[in-house]
Amino acid sequence: MKQTKKSNKLILAILFFGPLIFYLFLITGTNDFAKLPVLTTKVQDVDQLNSSKKVSLDDKISIVCFLGDDLLQHKTNALNLNEKIYKHFYGYKNFQMVIVLPKGAESKANQLKKELGAIFDIEKWYFVYGSKEEVQHVFNGLQTTYSLDQHMYTPYAFIVDRDMNLRGRNDDEDAKDGMLYGYFAEDVAPIHQKMVDDVKVLLAEYRRALKENKREI
């Protein structure tokens, strides 16, 4: 009987003090917020390339793509990004899509704009043009393990933050050495399963900065 009474008292003590201890742990602990890793600092800006208006990566959250001079062969990339990324995040003031193309692709780009515009308002899609050397220079500035083909195309889309840093993953289970510099845009799955989450993480990071420093996103 005495053993039973002791057990009951122990249970009551746990029920009473357990929540209190847990609460104290929460209020005294530090919050470990997730951040999207910086993989390359200060990438090359696109402000010197030709476009219908001034375009820069500075102070913007940018999705950057290189669709090449045969871009209509790769319009699926743009459609995937439009559906899964742009539609969800275009409402943020400093969000933009930047497509880097070699000169001579302007007419094909206009055709792609019409197709994208028939689906959704594409006011934050920007197309910039340069020589092949200039396009290669911008791409090299990302410092990835990927490469452009002879048409200046890569299937990967990149996240560049407001400080012009390349963001991605350094522990991705599907990437070599865990380094995910860009997101394979020919297939909607990597965009839906990884890129959407990573853009959310970056935006959450800026929301916290906004609360602390009143910086607008």
With a threshold of 0.85, does the pTM exceed it?
A: no
Return the SS3 of 208.
helix
Q: Tell me how far the alpha carbon of residue 123 is from its chain's centroid.
A: 19
Cβ atoms 183, 156 nearer than 8 A: yes
Return the residue matching tokens 């029920």. 15
Higher pLDDT, 178 or 5: 178
1 has a pLDDT exceeding 50: yes
Confidence grade of residue 168 (pLDDT, cut at 50, 70, 90): very high
Cβ atoms 115, 75 nearer than 8 A: yes
pLDDT digits (tens, 9 = 90+) for 24-83: 443 333 334 579 999 999 999 999 999 888 999 999 999 999 999 999 999 999 999 999
Element (H, E) at 20: helix 2-28
CA distance 85 to 200: 10
User: Who contacts 127 (Cβ-Cβ below 8 Å, separation ≥6)?
Assistant: 51, 52, 99, 101, 106, 109, 113
